Amino acid sequence: MRTYNAKPAEAIAARQWWVLDAEGQPLGRVASRVASILRGKHKTTFTPHVDTGDFVVVINAGKVKATGKKLDQKNYYTHSGYIGHLKATSLRDTIARTPEMPIKLAVKGMLPKNVLGRQLIKKLKVYAGSEHPHAAQSPQQLSL
């Protein structure tokens, strides 16, 4: 019995589109499910070093749920490189300003930190509302 390794051309031909409604769902559960689909771990042809995953569209990102006190205690940090220029933004402020960012960052943290991870994150489409422009791809409904 030989181990099967997917080839990039085969993986591209077998891609599907999925749509996930994040309304009322915990942020971490949404992110882990999306990261698994992006990597292709739900397929029998999963190969760790090849992009065998599918496209994922997340809608209602602004209505994602955070458990506990995460809305006020979880911070996102940016630093300009200058001394004293560290900026911290709470999850509540981030969702109010850019609702797509928490989901993108959570999924990005669950993907490989290399060229493959940068390629995978491009297949994630996140929208704050319930409308998305990917109806032509006829995405299937994804549940948690």
Query: Residue 1 pLDDT > 90, yes or no?
Result: no
**pLDDT above 90 as % of the chain:** 92
Structural domain boundaries of the chain?
8-66+99-142
For 40, phi then psi, to 5°, come to: 95, 20
CB atoms within 10 A of CB 13: 8
The predicted-structure confidence for 48-77, as pLDDT tens digits, reads as follows 999 999 999 999 999 999 999 999 999 999
| pLDDT attached to residue 104 | 98
The predicted-structure confidence for 15-36, as pLDDT tens digits, reads as follows 999 999 999 999 999 999 999 9
Residue with tokens 């760790």: 48
For residue 59, which of 19, 16, 102 has the smallest C-alpha distance?
Answer: 19
| pLDDT attached to residue 78 | 96
Please give the Cα distance from 42 to 59 (Å, whole number): 21
Please give the Cα distance from 136 to 144 (Å, whole number): 24
| pLDDT attached to residue 43 | 93
Task: Report, in angstroms and rounded to the nearest whole number, the Rg of the chain calculated over CA atoms.
Answer: 17
Give the pLDDT band of residue 11 (cuts 50, 70, 90).
confident
Query: Residue 144 pLDDT > 90, yes or no?
Result: no
58 with 30: CB under 8 angstroms? yes
| pLDDT attached to residue 84 | 96
Name the CATH architecture for the domain at 8-66+99-142: Alpha-Beta Complex (3.90)
